[in-house]
Chains A and B, each alone.
Chain A
Amino acid sequence: MTSLPQTVKILSGGESRSDDQIIAAHGRSSAGAGAALPGAEDSPLVIMELLQRLRVKDVMKSQNIISVVRTDSMKFAQNLMKRNHISGVPVVEGSRLFGIVSVNDIIKALEGDWIQDAVQQHMATNLVVLEEDMPLAFALKFFQNYTFGRFPVLNKERNLVGIVSQRDVTRAMLKELTREISKLEGRSPPAQDAPARSEGALPFYAMRQFAVVHNDLQSAGKAANEIKKMLKDAGVDPKIVRRVAVAAYELEINVCIHSLGGTVTFILDTERATVIAKDRGPGIKDVEWACQDGTSTANDWIRSMGFGAGMGLSNSKRVSDSFDIQSKVPSGTTVMCEFNLAKKEG
């Protein structure tokens, strides 16, 4: 792998930027400190979560990249694009990216009669590139902002590691959405001819998913308050409402302050309410220890905001009828709390 040549400028968002600026922009996005993801502002939460979770490297094409070398002719590039039905080819030697030849460059070459010239004379060197660790939301934004059909992808060392096209993004999103839907199918609403509900069961089914951003304490708690409102509006016993809300709130705060971010999903069916908090890491080394009262890894800043007393997991467990926690370092933690709605509260 070799690095990007100095002559290649990197543009992002329509502005000229240095390599360092690109890294800084990426750093802010991956930290996710409250900033909305570009391109995801108007998307449903499940899609927002996917756009945040998936990285450019998850969807890019990294093998058999069609490319030309600097000394190839524009005519050769034209034929290559025609044969492979693509609108541009990178100019690459080893993994060093020198530029890109697009359909527009070919049209200009045909008009100007320089189609036999070497590509290095006419290729674009002001390139818009993506970094492999950027959230997919950035790729979507780039496709919205620019007319290019594909973007080269670089790693942190500035080596070319792949190409991402709109088709790659669409394919990956469909695959992930199918997987999410399959997961939810196990919790689908009962069919019309389902067995009669037990006494006191509620005649509805609802599901909401909330994105939780790392360290965004300003917003943390919104999901729990929404969940409380949903339960209240559904006429659930106020004592159960309070227990569900407490668990949802504790889990939401946990995802916010202890993880890299994640989701809180709330499922309400005829007989039970379920809160599932799922994060993207770093996972808990000793789950048993973490579930004990008063154990916490919170820092002073978190404590100054009124949290980090080490009661989150134990509180959630205390109020739930059923509690389950699965954690893996570094991939993340999933906590599920279930509540029996038919249960008579004392």
Chain B
Amino acid sequence: MNISDIVKTLDGTLVAGGTSDRKVGAVVANDLMSDVLLDDSDDILLLTSLASDQAIRTANIVGAMAVVVHNAKPLPQTMCQVADTLGIPLISSPLTKYESCVRVHDFLAANG
């Protein structure tokens, strides 16, 4: 599952950070950044409701491949700037976090 698959599956929009060829290695759905930092997986897709710079900075620390913010939350300009600076693809989705989890799970189950 790459950036383009994520955008399509989650009815999302890539708003900052550019795109990449990286594929999802693990999925973390969380709003508590300390919990995210606990995860040792590589190429994390971070599904969160946290629309702040810290979601992107945390993603960068753990080497996440992309961040999805849910419920079409307005994204602060600084968040997009940090995503551009650090090169972390930032996707906005109108779905709830739960719905995103279901769709990502189904996609990975069907496509690997």
Contacts and interface: CB of A to CB of B under 8 A. Distances in A.
Interface of A: 217-218, 220-222, 224-225, 228, 238, 242, 245-246, 249-250, 253, 305-307, 309-312, 315, 318
A330 B62 CA distance: 34
B15 interface: no
A306 B62 contact: no
A307 B78 contact: no
Interface in B1-57: 31-35, 37-38, 40, 48, 50, 52-55, 57
Given A250-B37, A311-B32, A311-B35, 9 more contacts: A221-B53, A221-B61, A225-B60, A246-B37, A253-B33, A305-B50, A305-B52, A307-B32, A310-B34
A250 B63 CA distance: 16
How many B residues are at the interface, by size bracket?
20 to 34
B96 interface: no
Nearest to B34: A311
Nearest to A310: B34
Given A218-B78, A311-B34, A245 B54 contact: no
B54 A221 contact: yes
B37 A315 contact: yes
B57 to A, nearest CB: 4
9 shortest A-B CB distances, which residue pairs?
A: A221-B57, A311-B34, A306-B33, A309-B34, A309-B32, A306-B50, A245-B61, A246-B37, A249-B61
B82 to A, nearest CB: 9
The B interface, classified by DSSP as helix, strand, loop or mixed, is helix
13 contacts: A217-B53, A221-B58, A222-B57, A238-B63, A242-B61, A242-B62, A246-B37, A305-B50, A305-B52, A305-B54, A306-B52, A306-B55, A318-B38
Contact of A306 (B32, B38, B40, B78): B32
Interface string B55-74: 10110111100000000000
Interface in B67-100: 78, 86
B61 to A, nearest CB: 5
Contacts of B53: 217-218, 221
B62 A246 contact: yes
B109 to A, nearest CB: 28
A299 to B, nearest CB: 15
Given A242-B63, A311-B38, A312-B34, A225 B54 contact: no
Contacts of B40: 242
B37 A224 contact: no
